[in-house]
Amino acid sequence: MTSTLATPRTTDRPAGPDPHRIGRRRRRGVGSTVWSVVKHLILIGCSLLMIYPLLWMLVSSFRPTNTIFRTPGLWLHNPTLANYTHGWHALTSPFGQYLINSGIVVLGAILGNVASCSLAAYAFARLRFRGRTLWFAIMLLSIMLPIHVVVVPQYIIFNNLDWVNTFIPLILPKFLATDAFFVFLMVQFIRGIPKDLDEAARIDGCGHWGIFTRVVLPLMVPAIATTVIFTFIWTWGDFFTALIYLTSPDKYTTPVALRSFLDSTSGSDWGAMFAMSIVSLLPVFLVFLFGQRYLIKGISTTGIK
């Protein structure tokens, strides 16, 4: 851009370095290099500070509990898997049971969110029906509604249906598009898909269902990926709802199990606790590692947490 600003003055000269730019770069040269090095040092320092607790927990999970309290460093002598084997069997069910429970809930939540939110999003983004603006506004407002205002009656409903201590209260709402975040995310995405494609499909004889399943749905895979990843991370970590609805230990999801672990050992068996914490964070970390692109895109286009 600097070069385009300078172009009128340099048109007569043959192609080559622009004197204005060279001058400016040289003038700034030393200072900006020093500044850039300092900045990187500060940023690396911050990064280390940020992830040190995580690294330390990871390393400590391979240490005997009695040394965790004496070793703030990351150096690992004689790593042991004892914490993992001990932690895995420390609760009434093996820890794998809780991972499976979490897995079932997450899978249900993902299916529910993708199916219901994409349907609603298609209606909001493409169809013209009476009351659309009003419903859309209500949908946006419901994103900001605190769950506590609805949690007591929801509990009463599920309790009357005898669904407490099952996974239904955790999964069913997702099939009813209650995570309106994702409706909004998908609306944003569908708006970016050219309408000509819809028209072409309509001319070829597609109805709305055809347009939705054959044109829009295949094209909105990135938005679906973002939804899947966020649903995974949020549902995997969801504590409040699981705490309320899951009452018997064999139904616990991972976060509730971890919490009961903390209670049962009154917070003394840090080695095993760290080990199981690492186990519970691992899936989220993997999703983060491989789905980061979608996460960042999702978060920057809709500003969800």
Partner 1 sequence: MSAISELTSLRRTRAKTAAERQQQRKENGRDNKAGYLFLLPWLVGLVVITIGPMCASLYLSFTDYNLLQPPKWAGLANFREMLHDTRLHQSLKVTFIYVFVGVPLQLALALVIALALDKGMKGLSFYRSIFYLPSMLGGSVAIAVLWRQIFGTDGLINQALRLVGINAHTGWVSDPSYALGTIIILHIWTFGSPMVIFLAGLRQIPTMYYEAAAVDGARRWARFSKITMPLLSPIVFFNLVLQIIGAFQSFTQAFVVSGGTGGPSDSTLFYTLYLYNRGFANLQMGYASAMAWVLLVIIGAFTAINFFASKYWVFYDD
Residues from 31 through 50 that contact partner 1 (CB under 8 A): 39-40, 42-43, 46-47, 50
- Nearest approach in angstroms of CB 255 to partner 1 is 4
273 in contact with partner 1 (CB under 8 A): yes
Residue 178 found at the interface with partner 1 (CB under 8 A): yes
The CA-based angle 64-69-71, given to 5 degrees, is: 85
Q: Which is nearer to partner 1, 53 or 194 (CB)?
A: 53
Regarding 166 and contact with partner 1 (CB under 8 A), the answer is no
Please report whether residue 237 would count as binding partner 1 according to CB under 8 A: yes
Residues in the chain: 305
Contact set for partner 1, span 202-221 (CB under 8 A): 207-208, 212
The least distance separating partner 1 from the CB of residue 233, rounded to whole angstroms, comes to 6
Part in contact with partner 1 (CB under 8 A); list of ranges 26-34, 84-92, 99-107, 130-138: 130-138
Q: Which is nearer to partner 1, 34 or 145 (CB)?
A: 145
At closest approach, how far in Å is the CB of 17 from partner 1? 19
Distance CA 119, CA 238 (A): 25
**Residue from 41, 141, 161, 221 that binds partner 1 (CB under 8 A)?**
141
The residue from 101, 102, 116, 227 that contacts partner 1 (CB under 8 A) is 116
Report if residue 30 touches partner 1, rule: CB under 8 A: no
Region from 26-34, 92-100, 129-137, 193-201 binding partner 1, contact rule CB under 8 A: 129-137
Residues 144-163 that bind partner 1 (CB under 8 A): 144-157, 159
Supply the minimum distance, in Å, between the C-beta of residue 3 and partner 1.
11
